[in-house]
Amino acid sequence: MNRIPPSLEPYLQQTIQSKESRVALVKLYRSQIEKGSHAAMTPLLNLCLDKSRDVAQSASWVVLDFASQIQAASQIAPICVQSPITGVRQNALKALIAAMNGGLQVSETEIETLFNALAEDKAPEVLQLLYELVNCCLWHHHSISQELAQATFKLTQRLVEQNHKATLDMTTKAAFITLNQMLNLEDSRLVPPIRDCTRALLRATDIGQKVDRLIITGILTKLAKYNSELLTQIVREDLVINGRVLPAANLYAIAIAIVHDQGKNAPLLNEILQDERLTNDVKSRILRERGL
């Protein structure tokens, strides 16, 4: 039964110890919210922390569907932090982000507190959403506190150090987008850690199909305006590490950043062309840029 008659609510409350009754309540609350009830959101949020996985997940999907009904971050934050179910934490974070994009006012302090509470989460899906939460904060506040920025840098460096492929594969794109958004603030205090995180991610991951190379090229080009030696350092220190050559997509992005910053005939590109350890693919790309 997908539609629960409102007249059954007293009975369902009396038999709430039954999982079936709680499943029915989720359906009833959905129906009530669809009809404009704001009061139904509170008991629905409570069911997101239900001991039954099925009940909790079902409730979290309804909350996500009606994220616009969330009236304060404090309503959803406990679910993000306390639920032992990855899918529920994921839906709760998505709902908060959707609510913020819909106009919910959330302070940077609230975002920082939630970020720190989830920074040690083991689920890549949740960590990816933390970056999206920071992006949302940047978009709406046009700024970022030093505390939240440092927490983001710390998370990024930890993920690189742990080097769990599945986690890096899922979070790398979101991390680069966040770093790019921070760089757009033109806050010189953020530049050194953004630089360090960018280099660390490029060493640790294959951006391949996961990240638009234009994002990487853009970050490197912007960073080079703050440090004229950066691209030289990357070419001489990062392209080959302990005998391992960076993936082709990473090399392409670096080469194009050099073209944008120093021109297609830059001596630094000659160093890449002359390095026998590097693949012909990236060298061919450089030659194409030169019209050869």
Mean pLDDT by 10 residues, the chain (292 residues): 77 90 94 92 97 97 96 96 98 98 95 97 97 96 95 98 93 97 96 98 92 94 96 96 92 95 93 91 88 71
Quick one: pLDDT at residue 4? 82
Quick one: pLDDT at residue 1? 53
Q: Where are the domains of the chain?
A: 1-106, 107-200, 206-292
- What would the DSSP string read from start to end of 251-272? HHHHHHHHHHHH-TT-HHHHHH
Quick one: pLDDT at residue 12? 85
Distance (Å, whole) CA 289 – CA 87: 46
Q: What distances in angstroms separate CA 202 from CA 17, 125, 153, 170, one per listed residue? A: 52, 21, 15, 15
Distance (Å, whole) CA 176 – CA 165: 16
